[in-house]
Amino acid sequence: MNLELTEEQKLLQKTVREFAESEVKPLAKELDETGRFPRDTFKKAAELGLTGVAFPEAEGGAGFDHIAYSIVIEEISRCCASTGVILSVQNSLYCDPIHRFGTEEQRKKFLLPFARGEKIGCYALTEPQAGSNAAALQTKAVKNGDKYVINGTKAWITNGGAADATIVYVNTEPAKGEKKSAKKKRSWASTPPLAANWSLPIAKFPPPTASAVKAKATRSRSRRSTAAASVLPRKPPASPKARSKPR
Ligand SMILES: Cc1cc2nc3c(=O)[nH]c(=O)nc-3n(C[C@H](O)[C@H](O)[C@H](O)COP(=O)(O)OP(=O)(O)OC[C@H]3O[C@@H](n4cnc5c(N)ncnc54)[C@H](O)[C@@H]3O)c2cc1C
């Protein structure tokens, strides 16, 4: 098995590393101390295509693959774990389910501006009593006409305070769900739980058809050759000395 990065992936790695060193690392300490959401850095990351690395350009993404996405998160997290998780949630927890399971209409509204980084997304699964055991979640969604009314409490939601949209996990039939977790309700030292009381239109996520999957594979093959354009280095190449520097 060839584990070497391709030339395109190496170029991406170098670009993201320069960005992380110059724009992300200087803020890392302050972000961890204050909990501030780094909107300016998020915007700059979006300009490089880092808010939608592995999504098609037609859906607002940079058109790379998942190895490229891993490189991005590795390089950003190397300089700031908080910024790394912000971008990871935007890409993989928020955008990816909509890319995979959303309708065309949902992708247009809830993926395109998010993959472009014009909007911020989050993913609300964890609750005070439901972490690894997601089946114990208690947030309820009750159908009311063409909407669901959602009541519950979520915790540890990355991007939660800044997000324009949330993928929220709910239980529509609490009676059929797992019985209340035996785990005790925890007390929250620094991150307050998010109390939810939303009213959302009913989302329809049809399973992808075989023809849609095949068409997607064809689209991503034809895209790969042009994908590097959005993250090509904007600065002159680093000196040979800097390139050989160990990580
Ligand atoms: C930086 C960060 C960002 C996060 N962002 C989000 C977010 O954006 N959205 C969101 O929904 N959640 C988020 N979370 C929450 C995260 O998903 C949960 O912390 C995770 O699911 C684990 O749940 P828990 O903390 O309740 O741990 P627990 O479920 O209490 O687990 C504690 C320990 O017990 C182990 N364990 C649990 N069950 C079993 C079992 N059956 N057998 C053996 N071992 C077991 C676990 O592996 C773990 O080591 C975030 C957490 C962190 C740290």
**DSSP state string for 15-73:** HHHHHIIIIIGGGHHHHHHH----HHHHHHHHHTTTTSTTS-GGGTS----HHHHHHHH
pLDDT (0 to 100) of residue 178? 59
Tokens of 129: 């009593």
Q: Which two tokens stand for residue 224?
A: 């790969």
The label of the residue with tokens 């991005």 reads 72
Amino acid at 192: P
Which pLDDT score, from 0 to 100, does residue 65 have?
96
- Domain check: are 166 and 69 in the same one? no
* CA dist., res. 28 & res. 224, Å (int): 33
My answer on whether 49 and 92 are in the same domain is yes
The model's pLDDT over 80-98, given as tens digits with 9 standing for 90+, comes to 999 999 999 999 999 999 9
pLDDT tens, 149-187? Answer: 999 999 999 999 999 999 999 999 877 765 554 444 443
Centre of ligand 1 to C-alpha 99, Å, is 25
Average model confidence (pLDDT) for the chain?
81
Instruction: Compute the distance from residue 135 Cα to the ligand 1 centre, in Å.
Output: 13
Please tell me whether residues 107 and 153 are part of one structural domain. no
How much distance in Å is there from the Cα of 131 to the middle of ligand 1? 5
Residue 160 covered by a domain: yes
Identify whether 227 is part of a domain: no
Query: Do 89 and 60 sit in the same domain of this protein?
Result: yes
Cα-to-centroid distance, 133 and ligand 1 (Å) = 8
**Domain hosting residue 48, numbered range:** 8-118
Shared-domain flag, residues 103 and 131? no
Q: What local confidence, expressed as pLDDT, does residue 177 receive? A: 61
Q: Report the domain count for the chain.
A: 2
* Nearest-angstrom CA–CA distance, 87 and 43: 11
Q: Is residue 1 part of a domain?
A: no
pTM value is 0.79
Q: What is the torsional sign of CA 242, 224, 166, 97?
A: negative
Q: Whose CA is nearest to atom 45 of ligand 1?
A: 132
Give the residue, out of 76, 91, 156, 183, with the most ligand 1 atoms within 8 A of its beta carbon, to mutate for a pocket test.
156
Q: Is the residue at 149 inside a domain?
A: yes
Same domain for 43 and 90?
Answer: yes
For ligand 1, atom 47: residue with the closest CA: 132
Separation CA 72–CA 66 (nearest Å): 10
Nearest atom, ligand 1, residue 89 CA? 8
Same domain flag for 36 and 85: yes
Indicate if 51 and 83 belong to the same structural domain: yes
Ligand 1 nearest atom to the CA of residue 124, by list position: 11
Residues lining ligand 1, CB < 6 A? 85, 89, 93, 122-126, 131-132, 156-158
